[in-house]
Amino acid sequence: MNVGVLRLRLHLPQNQSLKGKRQVLRSITTRVSNRYNVSIAEVDDQELWQLATLGISCVSQDARHANAMLSQVVNFIARSRFEAEMLDYEIEILPVL
Query: pLDDT, tens digit, for every residue of 57-70?
Result: 999 999 999 999 99
Contact 17, 49 (CB under 8 A): yes
Q: Residue 59: which residues within 8 A CB-CB, separation 6 or more? A: 1, 2, 3, 4, 66
Side chain identity, residue 73: V
Collapsing DSSP states into helix, strand and coil, what is residue 18? helix
Residue % of the chain over a pLDDT of 70:
100
Domains and CATH numbers, the chain: 2-95 (3.30.70.1120)
Predicted pLDDT of residue 19: 87
**Is the predicted pLDDT of residue 80 greater than 90, yes or no?**
no
Q: Tell me, what's the pLDDT at 49? A: 84
Global model pTM greater than 0.95: no
